[in-house]
Amino acid sequence: MSGTTRTSADLDVRRKRTLYRAWHRGMREMDLIMGRFADAEIGTMSDADLDEFERLIEVPDRDLLAWITGEADTPENYDSAVFRRLKGFHSHTSPIHA
């Protein structure tokens, strides 16, 4: 079960693939962070934003989670508008869970 709340029926092939990848990362916490963001944003992302989101999907889970939670500094080459939207999308006042 992926957890997605969004249908992919209206998405092009690239966005369907990216949505799937966002929900199937390996670490459940990152599935929830990336997947929920993708559910909300994938349909309206520009091609440039989608390029950047796909690049973030390639970052190892532990590194990306540390950047999002502030446990580690985000490398300058990943501190993009899409990353900042992803980071701002989630409130960290409570545990991440399904």
CATH of the domain at 27: 1.10.150.250
Helix (H, G, I), strand (E, B) or coil at 72: coil
Q: What's the pLDDT tens digit per position in 28-54?
A: 999 999 999 999 999 999 999 999 999
Say how many domains are in the chain. 1
Q: Is 3 within the bounds of a domain?
A: no
Q: To which residue do tokens 């963001």 refer?
A: 37
- Quote the domain boundaries for residue 39: 13-89
Is 98 a residue whose pLDDT tops 50? no
| Continuous segment of H or E residues that includes residue 27 | none
63 vs 34: CA distance, rounded Å: 13
pTM of the model: 0.84
pLDDT score for 1 = 42
4 vs 19: CA distance, rounded Å: 9
Q: Read off the tokens for 3.
A: 């957890």
Q: Is 95 within the bounds of a domain?
A: no
Q: Is 97 within the bounds of a domain?
A: no
Q: Read off the tokens for 87.
A: 């980071």
26 phi and psi angles, rounded to 5 deg = 130, -50
